A = this chain, B = another copy of it.
């Protein structure tokens, strides 16, 4: 399996068919950005055992909250974190922890996005 195939498989594990669709949309408009994200990000960075997927989810979410991600990245990675087994209570506490390190406005912004993600999942599973 080459890096790109590993990348697609990794996206599926993190984000399911919705993740695949999102990357296909990127690929349609910019095949090269999709290729870089697949090979480098999902195929290479994630392909290493020093950290497991739950640890990577905490690191990713903290980075996105701190950089003030406008919404797309946080929505995607809140779903991904829940998909790989991070508990809702762990994500809520991660947001609390970030309030001390990145300030309350970014924590509260993230909380509202996480709330939408949880509500969407409940609706789909309801």
A interface vs B, CB < 8 Å? 26, 29-30, 32-33, 36-37, 39-41, 44-45, 48, 50-51, 55-56, 58-73, 87, 89-90, 92-109, 111-112, 115, 118
Report the minimum CB–CB distance from A47 to chain B (whole Å).
11
* Residue pair A97, B59 in contact (C-beta under 8 Å): yes
Given the contacts A63-B102, A69-B105, A102-B63, A92 and B58 also touching, CB distance less than 8 Å:
no
A32-B48, A63-B63 known; A100 vs B41 contact (CB < 8 Å)? yes
Q: How far is the CB of A73 from chain B (nearest CB, A)?
A: 4
B69 touches A67 (CB 8 A): no
Query: Chain A interface secondary structure, helix, strand, loop or mixed?
Result: helix
Q: List 22 A-B contacts (CB under 8 A).
A: A26-B108, A26-B111, A30-B111, A36-B40, A36-B99, A41-B104, A45-B99, A48-B96, A51-B93, A51-B97, A59-B97, A59-B101, A60-B62, A60-B101, A62-B63, A63-B103, A67-B68, A67-B101, A68-B68, A69-B109, A70-B109, A101-B104
User: CB-CB < 8 A to A64: which residues of B?
Assistant: 101, 105
**Which chain B positions have C-beta within 8 A of A58?**
55, 58-59, 62
Q: How far is the CA of A68 from the CA of B102 in the complex (A)?
A: 11
